[in-house]
């Protein structure tokens, strides 16, 4: 449970940025001797109470039980639901009266997931720009010292593993893949693995010059990646704007990712 020193809106934004579902519960009606206050709110995620309280005790326990039932039905569309409980009959409380609670479920219909392989200078800059957008980011590297430099954010997943290819088991073809590792060899290994596992990935791009792009395509072709798939490779990655500076490259790459996201959305 997070600290209630944060405002309701700050805590709601935190939950929204995780990309995971959550429920807002509000007391909207009180009758009789109910001790709860009208308008009290609490935020619940799949782990339990995240923020706030509606009075504690039996009414809060019943609320968490009802929320757990709602989470089991997701990702089914869940409209707002109003529950009115008799405090004696339904909750076994000594005080008489009723309390009406509104349950509002929040979930993203389709998250925008971006996987960045490489936490070097450009990777660091790219992750920071992407963190300002409505997306989920995983940044993967085998160098702990670089992973540790990534910013802390509920939208950023920091992954340090010896074999970066293993992380492909944690994602799906709806992800946007970016390789900007420490060199040609590791970019080549990652691209080959991505093309083999997710030939229909939403986006595959790699950082590099025109010369590196020619070499990558040639090497991938030698490894058996078809020319049709190689046509999908974005390399050099990014729009043709800015200079050869990590921050400007990051803006260029982010712009291209946005462009591809919106273009593919129009085609659905």
CATH assignment at residue 154: 3.40.50.720
Please indicate, yes or no, whether residues 158 and 263 belong to a single structural domain of this protein.
yes
pLDDT of residue 109: 58
pLDDT of residue 4: 52
Q: Has residue 1 been placed in a domain? A: no
Look-up of token digits 């509606």: 54
Burial (CB < 10 A; 0-12, 13-18, 19+), residue 265, is exposed
Q: What's the pLDDT at 265?
A: 60
**235 within some domain:** yes
Final residue before a domain boundary, out of 106, 139, 171? 106
| Residue span of the structural domain in which 66 resides | 8-106
For residues 157 and 246, membership in a common domain is answered with yes
In-domain check, residue 237: yes
> How much is the pTM?
0.67
Query: What pLDDT, on the 0 to 100 scale, is given for residue 110?
Result: 63
Show which of 71, 91, 106 is a domain's final residue: 106
* Count of structural domains, the chain: 2
The verdict on residue 23 lying in a domain is: yes
pLDDT of residue 31: 86
If you count them, how many residues does the chain have? 268
pLDDT of residue 1: 46
Are residues 134 and 63 both part of a single domain?
no
Give pLDDT, residue 203: 96
Residue 3 domain-assigned (yes or no): no
Whether residues 92 and 119 fall in one domain:
no
Is the same domain home to 100 and 120? no
Do 172 and 262 have their domain in common?
yes
How many helices (DSSP H) and strands (DSSP E) are in the chain?
8, 11
Please count the other Cβ atoms lying within 10 Å of the Cβ belonging to residue 176.
Answer: 24
Name the β-bridge partners of 106.
Answer: 22
Question: End of a domain among 51, 85, 106?
Answer: 106
| Structural domain includes residue 154 | yes
> Does 260 share its domain with 168?
yes
In a domain, 16, yes or no: yes
Is 24 found in the same domain as 69? yes
In tens digits, what is the pLDDT along the chain, a chain of 268 residues?
A: 444 578 999 999 888 877 789 999 999 998 887 667 899 999 999 999 999 999 878 889 999 999 999 999 887 778 999 999 998 888 887 777 888 999 999 986 567 999 999 999 999 999 999 999 989 999 999 999 999 999 998 889 999 999 999 999 999 999 999 999 999 999 999 999 999 999 999 999 999 999 999 999 999 999 999 999 999 999 999 999 989 899 999 999 999 999 999 986 666 5
**Tokens 């007391």, located at residue:** 27
Buried b / exposed e over 137-171, threshold 16 CB at 10 Å, is: bbbbbbeeebbebbeebebbbbbbeeebbebbeeb
pLDDT of residue 17: 73
pLDDT at 34 (0 to 100): 66
Q: What pLDDT sits at residue 95?
A: 73
Instruction: Indicate whether 46 and 178 sit together in one domain.
Output: no
**Residue 189 and residue 120 share a domain:** yes
- The predicted structure's pLDDT at residue 15: 87
Would you say residue 2 lies in a domain? no
Statement to judge: residues 22 and 66 lie in one domain: yes
Q: Say if residue 73 is in the same domain as residue 127.
A: no
């Amino acid at each position: 449970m997070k600290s209630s020193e944060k405002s309701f809106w700050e805590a709601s934004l935190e939950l929204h940025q995780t990309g995971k579902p959550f429920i807002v519960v509000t007391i909207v009606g009180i009758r009789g001797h109910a001790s709860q206050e009208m308008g009290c709110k609490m935020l619940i995620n799949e782990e339990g109470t995240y923020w706030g309280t509606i009075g504690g005790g039996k009414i809060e326990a019943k609320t968490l039980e009802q929320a757990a039932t709602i989470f089991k039905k997701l990702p089914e569309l869940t409209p707002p639901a109003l529950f009115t409980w008799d405090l004696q009959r339904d909750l076994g409380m000594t005080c008489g009266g009723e309390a009406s609670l509104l349950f509002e479920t929040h979930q993203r219909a389709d998250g925008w997931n971006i996987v960045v392989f490489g936490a070097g200078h450009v990777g660091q800059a790219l992750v920071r720009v992407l963190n300002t957008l409505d997306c989920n980011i995983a940044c993967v590297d085998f160098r702990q010292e670089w992973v540790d430099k990534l910013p802390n954010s509920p939208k950023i997943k920091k992954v340090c593993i010896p074999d970066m290819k293993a992380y492909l088991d944690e994602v799906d073809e709806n992800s946007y893949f970016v390789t900007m590792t420490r060199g040609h060899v590791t970019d080549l290994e990652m691209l080959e693995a991505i093309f083999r596992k997710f030939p229909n990935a939403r986006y595959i791009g790699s950082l590099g010059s025109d010369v590196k792009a020619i070499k990558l395509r040639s090497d991938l072709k030698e490894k058996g990646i078809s020319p049709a798939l190689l046509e999908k490779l974005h390399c050099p990655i990014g729009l043709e704007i800015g200079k050869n500076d990590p921050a400007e490259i990051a803006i260029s790459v982010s712009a291209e990712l946005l462009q591809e996201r919106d273009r593919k959305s129009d085609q659905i």
